[in-house]
Structure 1
Amino acid sequence: MSEHYVCFIPADPKFVPSKGSQDAAVALIQRAWLHISEITPETNEHIVFRDCGENFESIHCPSCNTELRVDQWHELMEQDYSDEGGFQLDQLPMPCCEEKLTLNDLSYKWPMGFSRFVLRAGDPGCEDSEKLLNELESAIGCQLRIIHQMY
């Protein structure tokens, strides 16, 4: 049986909310999704890639809408990553149109992204609500991206 998680990450990959903001966000999820047993806030020292697992379908350049091959994307990932500093999210020329973009700018289907902070919850068994997202953004203090992970 697959495991499903809903991850909330800041739109700004470097942003880390205060401990109080993280606790408020956890409490909001607990009230909205009553049967959730696992809600984990996590902060990493460096920017980390947050994947969607088995939900992965494609990656597109937002400038020219060309679908990037996985090997092209892997090459970009290798260029941007260092063992000492994680992902730098430098602007890199895209192999399709030479537009300079960060890995976080790419269009991922299903959504994926990069962040230092993630708030991960077990499968809620229901749809995300716009109301909950707005409340979480207010509690955390920034815009959020939602990533549905399936493993």
Structure 2
Amino acid sequence: MSDHYICLIPAEPDFIPGEESQAAAVALIQKTWNLEKSEITPETDTHIVFRDCGENFESVHCPHCSAEMEIGHWQALMDQSYSDENGFTISTIQTPCCSKSTTLNDLCYKWPMGFSRFVLRTVDPGYEISDYLLIELESAIGSELRVIHQMY
């Protein structure tokens, strides 16, 4: 049986909310989904980390022309942007399809994935995050959030 999680990450990879903001977001999820506090984990990493969707991964697309990116090319870009000492650097890349500038974080991932230093991870309650809850969480955290559904 697979494990399912929902990860909420700031749209800006370097953004880290304060402890009060993190606690407010945890309390919102706890109240809305009736979860135990131990089922909701705020994590802050020293460096930018790639937050994948696990078995949900399907494809990577250009944010400009929507062309699907070859996985080997995407993996090479990921390798170039990563070091054991510094994690990922979010620098400008050129898309192979239309030669426009973007970043690894701004590529269109099916299912959503992204990069961050902060993540709020919770067990999947079995239903979608409502627009209202997402707005409330973004207000509590102080940043636009990206929702990642992980399955392992």
What TM-score range do you get, normalising by the shorter chain?
Answer: over 0.9
Residue deviations 1:34-89 (CA, integer Å, cap 9, x gap): 04551000000111000000111110011121101110100010111122211111
Alignment root-mean-square deviation, CA? 1.0
Measured in 1, the distance between the counterparts of 2:142 and 2:35 equals: 26
Aligned partner of 1:48 in structure 2 is 49
Paired residues for 1:4-43 under 5 Å: 4-36=4-36, 38-43=39-44
Aligned length: 151
**Identical pairs, percent:** 65
Aligned letter for 2:116?
A: S
Aligned partner of 1:105 in structure 2 is 106
Aligned letter for 1:7?
A: C
Unaligned runs of 5+ in 2: none
Unaligned runs of 5+ in 1: none
Measured in 1, the distance between the counterparts of 2:22 and 2:147 equals: 16
**TM-score normalized with structure 2 length:** 0.96
Residue deviations 1:11-36 (CA, integer Å, cap 9, x gap): 01110000111011000000001045
